């Protein structure tokens, strides 16, 4: 007969040991839920809360709205530069793409956005909502695109639904997107091959993006509430303005009683003089106070230095949530000579990182458009190379010392340790080949002018290139000028 084992008693663990404190809501209403499943980190209910909170701040909080605008402006836009070996086709394809893509009635199915404004639109609502959906479609036989905000990628228009609007296979690859139509109240399905969910730092384990404000929502709300209280105090102070003081046991009628009764003129003044004097100060009468009474103005020194410093710290946390330096986003006066260069280099790295998340989507848009145009016979394929080969030209670099940076870049290119293409794309938005072709065209025009006006060969070219020109105009008695004599 088996023996019964004696039951061991285990002392109960403290709540901190079991991590129960981590799942209790804090005074701000946040709930921390540690999990190893990325899908459960931000669920359907969390998404809807984030949408509402982030949108409320983007509309009602000027500092938050400005921080998002700074993010969008720093990201800017990128333009395509075809890079096949066929230079003539590259020029023709870019002109064809830009002529179509910059026309909102052709590029956007709603007829509102073009290729540049669509990038700004996507970046703004990706920062607020976390992601946005781009769908490739057609309009009158031409390729175009439709754009949907994050809450529409769902089953109910609020970011909810069993799959949060994204149906994926067992490997985590998106198969289709569910898009909610607010006008009809119905959901239509979009194949994943015809759409791109634009988001930053995509997590393969999570189907959706998260707003950039996720780390600063509660801080921004606290900042708005504190500013609201300070504003209410300022309004209260302005509405009262003056207070009449009196001694204890003083029962004489006060200033308000005199205003309520028929007011008497000040002693020594006629009623007309008293009225004129009162009107000059914005009142109807000048009245005298009862003996022992005094009138004091209400003064308030709020917000004090500590409160202002606290608000500045709170706003810095909002910038930190966006990944921006507070000195760059809000207060450039904090930058010194050395820190400016460091901040600009860090800012460039921040922009490059985010543009790497955008480039695949832009390449998908470019590839869809060019392939559709080639298939329709409106654009011939390149004679050699892949039509998908393309460079993405960003906006011009930000700099406060263009001369110093340009001199350093020239020296680096002269020594062969820096790419000319990298420099011209960053500063001029063009390739070296385009600049060389433009210069060749200009010099050919100068040669015609020299011959027309009887100038020595190269004289206009010398003035066009400046001191960096290694060539010199040929003298009149040179062999080049006397070859036919």
pLDDT tens-digit map of 311-369:
777 767 777 777 776 666 556 666 566 667 777 778 888 888 888 999 999 999 999 99
* 43-66 mean pLDDT: 84
pLDDT of 329: 58
Cα 137 to Cα 134: distance, rounded to the nearest angstrom = 10
Q: What is the mean pLDDT of the chain?
A: 76
Which of 109-118, 335-344, 458-467 has the least mean pLDDT?
458-467
pLDDT tens per residue across span 230-269? 788 777 777 776 777 777 666 666 655 444 444 445 555 5
* 377-404 mean pLDDT: 80
Report which of 175, 218, 181, 198 is spatially closest to residue 121, judged by C-alpha positions. Answer: 198
Reported pTM? 0.69
Residues 6 or more apart in contact with residue 93 via CB below 8 angstroms: 82, 370, 379, 382, 387
* 191-208 mean pLDDT: 87
User: What whole-number percentage of the chain has pLDDT above 90?
Assistant: 20
Q: In 376-431, which ranges are continuous DSSP H helix?
A: 402-414, 420-427
Cβ proximity of 432 and 420 under 8 Å? yes
Q: Looking at per-residue confidence, does 168 or 470 come out higher?
A: 168
Evaluated on CA atoms 365, 370, 372, 378, the torsion sign reads positive
Residue 212: exposure state from Cβ atoms within 10 A (0-12, 13-18, ≥19): buried
Report which of 396, 360, 347, 324 is spatially closest to residue 127, judged by C-alpha positions. Answer: 324
Measured CA angle at 123 (ends 392, 169), to 5 deg: 90
pLDDT of 35: 64
Which of 82-86, 214-218, 290-294, 388-392 has the least mean pLDDT?
290-294
Q: Which helix (H) or strand (E) holds 159?
A: none
Query: 3-state DSSP: the chain helix, strand, coil percent, rounded to 5?
Result: 50, 10, 40
pLDDT of 207: 86
* 169-173 mean pLDDT: 85
Helix 217-240 vs helix 44-60: crossing angle, to nearest 10 = 40
Cβ proximity of 361 and 79 under 8 Å? no
Cα 485 to Cα 480: distance, rounded to the nearest angstrom = 10
Pairing status of strand 174-181 against strand 142-149:
unpaired
Cβ proximity of 481 and 474 under 8 Å? yes
Question: What does R_g of the chain's alpha carbons equal in angstroms?
Answer: 35
* 56-68 mean pLDDT: 86
Q: Looking at per-residue confidence, does 144 or 337 come out higher?
A: 144
pLDDT tens per residue across span 421-438? 777 776 766 777 778 888
Q: Where are the beta strands (DSSP E) in 238-297?
A: 242-245, 294-297
pLDDT band at 398 (very low <50, low <70, confident <90, very high): low
Cis peptide before 482 (omega within 30 of 0): no
């Amino acid at each position: 007969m088996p023996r019964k084992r004696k039951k061991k008693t285990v002392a109960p663990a403290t709540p901190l040991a079991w991590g129960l404190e981590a799942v209790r809501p804090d005074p701000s209403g946040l709930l921390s839920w540690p999990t190893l499943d990325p899908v459960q980190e931000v669920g359907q209910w969390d998404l809807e809360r984030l949408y509402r909170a982030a949108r409320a701040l983007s509309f009602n909080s000027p500092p938050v709205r400005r921080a998002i605008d700074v993010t969008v402006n720093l990201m800017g836009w990128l333009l395509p530069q075809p890079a096949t070996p066929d230079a003539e086709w590259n020029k023709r394809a870019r002109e064809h793409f830009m002529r179509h893509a910059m026309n909102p009635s052709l590029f956007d199915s709603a007829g509102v956005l073009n290729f540049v404004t669509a990038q700004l639109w996507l970046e703004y609502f990706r920062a607020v909502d976390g992601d946005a959906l781009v769908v490739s479609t057609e309009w009158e036989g031409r390729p175009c695109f439709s754009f949907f905000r994050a809450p529409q990628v769902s089953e109910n228009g609020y970011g909810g639904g069993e799959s949060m609007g994204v149906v994926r296979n067992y490997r985590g690859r998106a198969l289709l997107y569910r898009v909610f139509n607010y006008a009809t109240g119905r959901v239509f399905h979009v194949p994943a091959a015809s759409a791109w969910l634009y988001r930053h730092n995509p997590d393969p384990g999570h189907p959706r993006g998260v707003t950039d404000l996720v780390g600063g929502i509660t801080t921004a709300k606290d900042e708005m509430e504190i500013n609201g209280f300070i504003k209410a105090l300022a309004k209260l102070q302005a509405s009262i303005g003056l207070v009449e003081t009196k001694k204890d046991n003083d029962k004489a009628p006060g200033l308000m009683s005199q205003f309520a009764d028929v007011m008497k003129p000040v002693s020594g003044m006629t009623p007309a003089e008293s009225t004129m004097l009162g009107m000059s100060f914005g009142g109807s009468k000048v009245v005298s106070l009862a003996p022992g009474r005094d009138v004091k103005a209400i003064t308030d020194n709020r917000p004090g230095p500590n409160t202002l410093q606290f608000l500045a710290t709170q706003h810095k946390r909002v910038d930190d949530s966006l990944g921006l330096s507070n000195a760059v986003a809000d207060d450039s006066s904090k930058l010194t000579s050395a820190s400016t260069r460091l901040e600009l280099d860090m800012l460039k790295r921040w922009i490059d990182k985010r543009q790497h998340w955008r480039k695949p989507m832009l390449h998908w848009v470019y590839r869809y458009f060019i392939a559709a145009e080639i298939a329709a016979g409106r654009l011939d394929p390149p004679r050699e190379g892949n039509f998908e080969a393309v460079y993405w030209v960003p906006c011009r670099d930000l700099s406060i010392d263009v001369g110093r940076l340009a001199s350093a870049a020239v020296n680096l290119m002269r020594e062969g340790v820096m790419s000319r293409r990298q420099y011209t794309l960053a500063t001029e938005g063009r390739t070296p080949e385009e600049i060389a072709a433009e210069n060749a065209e200009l010099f050919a025009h100068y040669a015609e002018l020299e011959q027309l006006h009887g100038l020595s060969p190269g004289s206009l070219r010398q003035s066009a290139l400046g001191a960096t020109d290694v060539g010199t105009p040929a003298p009149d008695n040179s062999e080049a000028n006397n070859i036919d004599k």
